[in-house]
Amino acid sequence: MREANVSKHGWKWYFSVLLALALGAFVAARILEGRGRSVLGAEKVSLKTDSNPVPVSLADFKNGFTSVLQPALPKVVNISSTKLVKRQSQMPDLFNDPLFRQFFGDQLGPQSSGPQSSQPQTEREYSLGSGVILSPDGYLLTNNHVVAGASDVEVFTQERQKYKAKVVGTDPRTDVAVLKIEASGLPVFTLTDSSNLKVGDIVFAIGNPFGVGETATMGIVSATGRALGGTIEHYEDFIQTDAAINPGNSGGALVDIHGDLVGINTAIITGGGGGNQGVGFAIPINMARNIMEQILQHGRVIRGHLGATVQGVDPDMAKAFGLSHGGGALVADVEAGSPAAKAGIERGDIILEVDGQAINSSDDLSVRVSETPPGTTVHLKIFRSGQTKDVAVTLGELSEKAEATPSAHVPAVLDGVQVENLTLELAGQLGIPPKTAGVVVTSVDSSSAAAAADLERGDVIQEVNRKPVHNVTEFGGALAGTSGKPVLLLVNRGGSTRYLVVQPR
């Protein structure tokens, strides 16, 4: 028995040795395979200082992220702009004050002959911001709001050099501006593809917060493709980050772990405190680069035009249209003679894809269309009456004066509405076409679900559950049998139509 036990344990020992050797060989192979890969999960990462790639290893970060930031800092500049503004003087006009004249009589002459304190006074208004160098001969990118209306713009480099800058062009709709300084041999950023950014990627914000001087902060990408319903810019496709961005950072650089430029810092949510709250936004460099190239090539930005007013599709709206999920862009109106109208797109269509890429929101569609050159034929997948279909649309050019109706989030509640027949006189007063059919909302209880649903006095309801209504009788008939069920309204407000999903409480 004892000999048997010894033999049994010897076998176990022998097997354990073989297993250990096999595991060791496997681990060694994986280590060798992994050589040349970077930290933080990115493959074949190299830091680019101008055109010389520097391999990344853990040793590069022994003193933090100096190897990333040192090459990047000289490529960010401080911008000071001066604007002449006229303000009303706040000084009281003592010469015309009755009590003052009571003591000095008419020796001052007729009233109003004294100094005209109410006349506007010209003052200088100063603004501080940041910018990034994109060419050795001095082309810079910054935010439009940093230089808007400025009479003088000065640029200060990290080497304490001062330059007078020329505003080459601006695009207020994306808040991008292109500047030019007379210089040569400047260090420039390498631009990367911002569409490759993922939530959780490490990023650095570089700028001049509060005018204290060049500052770098670190954070992660909190979200991509962020749109805020036009509350910041007309076209919004922001990178959201928790890297500290403060006043003065506007126009500065958002760089990735490679030291490459991924975005232009542009806005923050302050929560009323006026400083960083961990919610900052940057314009993706893909968008900013497109704007800059168009300004340099054409002197202006040329955008594609679809000719449809769109709004978001939340789960309630999707359910009302028979769609299984939210997302996409709901067509609320189609401009007569527009590319959308020529392609057969109709009010009530939901645009799900553009050229095979999913549309997540109305803002997403607006950005995609605006970045597509006029004359391009795009292929849309739309949802209509329970079915999907493909539609080819050749985009037109967006007029400089054209402003699409901003998309809106519509609360899904309705109750407490009074309506009356729409007359030609009422249509004229409401600013809608005389041939418009529907019923006009004469009152909405402010505490009702209808008020919370954004239905307003003066709105004209044209459809109920996709059925046209021409008068109060038809309106009442269309609502019959909808108790406790969602109701879809097509509302005309000031000549523009939109859909509202309403749910009686």
Catalytically active residues, by annotation: 145, 175, 250
SS3 442: strand
Q: Which of 165, 191, 148 is nearest to 79 (CA)?
A: 165
Nearest-5° angle of CA 139, CA 143, CA 146?
Answer: 105
Q: What is the CA radius of gyration of the chain?
A: 31
- Alpha helices (H) along 181-314: 285-298
Residue 328: partners with Cβ closer than 8 Å, 6 or more residues away: 313, 318, 350, 351, 352, 359, 360, 361, 383
Residue 103 CA, distance from chain mean position: 61
Q: What values do phi and psi take at 248, rounded to 5?
A: 105, -20
SS3 291: helix
Please give the single-letter amino acid code of residue 50: D
With 0-12 / 13-18 / 19 or more C-beta atoms within 10 angstroms meaning exposed / middle / buried, residue 382 is buried
123 is written with which tokens? 């003052």
Please give the single-letter amino acid code of residue 165: A
Strand partners, 100: none
Asked if residue 163 lies in contact with residue 131, where contact means CB atoms within 8 angstroms, the answer is no
Please give the single-letter amino acid code of residue 485: K
CA–CA distances in Å: residue 339 to residues 176, 373, 394, 395: 28, 13, 6, 6
